[in-house]
Structure 1
Amino acid sequence: MESSTATDLNDELDPSSTLLDLTSYQLHDLDSVELPPNLTELDLTANRLSTLDPRIGQLSDLKKLSLRQNLITDSGVEPLSSWNALSYLEELVLRDNQLKNIPDVSIFKKLLVFDVSFNEIASLHGLSRVCNTLKELYVSKNEVTKIEEIQHFHQLLILELGSNKLRVMENLENLVNLQELWLGRNRIKLVNLCGLKCIKKISLQSNRLTSMIGFEVC
């Protein structure tokens, strides 16, 4: 049934299209799927993938790659770190997989959006290798206990760290362009917005705040 679905999909593909949306095909692999070499966007959301097809690493025009809601582990995502042809990727979504660590994405020198929410990540260790071009970082619904390795993200506009195990607001002072900060459902007691001159939205609901002191501009 799965192979016939993939065959039908290939029959429907427009070879001149630069967008391939394979959302919710329940694919375990991409063996039966053609990947046009001129793709700029590849959406593999809601499948059953546990590894990455090496052909993805040859899509040199790719700007957006979504692997949301699959079964990808740390070892499964590891090939990304050596796919030089994808160095101009701008958006990488690994949301809702089985990652325990921040993957090595240092090869992506133009990365703007990085999403690893809804995984099993316990530490932000590894973010220091992420390019400072980043504008949106999503790490919600993990097991993170400390805000760290984000000081170089001077261009960051959105930081999502809700539903983790954070206790302290720290290492945020260099995020001078940050506009949205989402820290709801953590264990934070004190507010610290020092350095966040451009902040427009902040979420701290369902924490352990002991006072409202700290919301004033530092």
Structure 2
Amino acid sequence: ISFVRNQAGTPIESLPKKVKRLKMSNCSIVELPEWFAGTMEELVFLDLSSNRISMLPDLPPSLQHLDISNSDIKIIPPSFNSVSNLTILSIQNNKITDMHPEHFPLTLTKCDISKNKLNKLSLTDALEKLQYLNVSGNLITRLEPTGNLSALANLDSSHNLISEVPDHFGKSLPMLKYFNLSGNKISFLQRGALPASLIELDISDNAITTIVEDTFGQLTSLSVLTVQGKHFFCNCDLYWFVNVYIH
């Protein structure tokens, strides 16, 4: 059922209780009724994007895909992890300041929380099934991996305020293949900061001036490296890189 751009208001009370897919984007919704989570027991897809919702509502445990982007949400409450079948979450362009992994459902595999107001990124075992994470366009100053995220393959942390990547970051993300670090404030990447599993890496528009063999030499699977930016320059110190990567 779709009520997209229904500015006159959405008749939520009249919804059939066995609806599986529901689109209510851009409908001037401020909140959902209290009965919604307990009544819509078969709902698997819900689009609430571009509304005026300021608090994440209680949602049915059956839900698998939630889009609540372009709203006014500030926090993700602990009760959100009760949406125990959720695999895809789109919550970009809100006002969220903290990301507590333990508040997210354990089933989550894809999360877009870009264009919020996060100031740090905590990665713990509570996100053990997460495969894709987009935190671009936030205010993140540091990455904090405190667990082993063995499923995470794609991480976009571009356009933040990150100045360094911890030397144990690579070991925390052993399956990471695509890593976007562009548009940050990084001047140096130390040994161990990058997972050896990387296939594509973007470090453009940082303060990095050269590629150090001690850090990048271990990236034997790397096939795409983007390093453009005004700080980067080529000199004889890059001979090792040409010898290893450019055939």
TM-score range, shorter chain: 0.7 to 0.9
TM superposition score normalised by structure 1: 0.82
- 2:102 is aligned, of 59, 73, 81, to 81
RMSD (Å) for aligned C-alpha atoms: 2.9
CA contact (8 A) 1:173 1:195 kept: no
* Larger RCO (CA under 8 A, 6+ residues apart): 1
Which amino acid counterpart does residue 110 of structure 2 have in structure 1?
A: E
| Deviation of the 1:52 alpha carbon | 2.5
CA contact (8 A) 1:162 1:186 kept: yes
1:108-134 per-residue CA deviation (whole Å, 9 max, x = no partner) reads 22121122211111112x223352321
- 2:174 is aligned, of 144, 154, 159, to 154
CA contact (8 A) 1:38 1:59 kept: yes
The residue number in structure 2 matching 1:21 is 47
| Deviation of the 1:47 alpha carbon | 0.9
The residue number in structure 2 matching 1:103 is 122
Select the structure of larger CA radius of gyration.
Answer: 2
CA contact (8 A) 1:184 1:207 kept: no
- 1:209 is aligned, of 228, 232, 244, to 232
The residue number in structure 2 matching 1:41 is 65
| Deviation of the 1:147 alpha carbon | 2.0
Residues in 2 aligned to 1:134 and 1:168: alpha-carbon distance in whole angstroms: 24
Residues in 2 aligned to 1:70 and 1:98: alpha-carbon distance in whole angstroms: 8
1:164-210 per-residue CA deviation (whole Å, 9 max, x = no partner) reads 01111333576232111011110111113311122222211114123
Deviates more, 1:112-121 or 1:3-12: 3-12
The residue number in structure 1 matching 2:199 is 179
| Deviation of the 1:88 alpha carbon | 2.3
Percent identity for Structure 1 against Structure 2:
22
The secondary structure found in structure 2 opposite 1:145 is coil
CA contact (8 A) 2:123 2:149 kept: no
The secondary structure found in structure 1 opposite 2:160 is coil
Which amino acid counterpart does residue 232 of structure 2 have in structure 1?
A: L
User: How many residue pairs are counted as aligned between the two chains?
Assistant: 209
| Deviation of the 1:159 alpha carbon | 0.6
Gaps of 5+ in 1: none
| Deviation of the 1:140 alpha carbon | 0.9
The residue number in structure 2 matching 1:137 is 155
- Against the structure 1 CA distance between its residues 158 and 114, is the aligned structure 2 distance closer, same or farther, given a 3 Å change threshold? same
1:145-177 per-residue CA deviation (whole Å, 9 max, x = no partner) reads 112242212211101111001111333576232
CA contact (8 A) 1:165 1:186 kept: yes
Which amino acid counterpart does residue 160 of structure 2 have in structure 1?
A: N
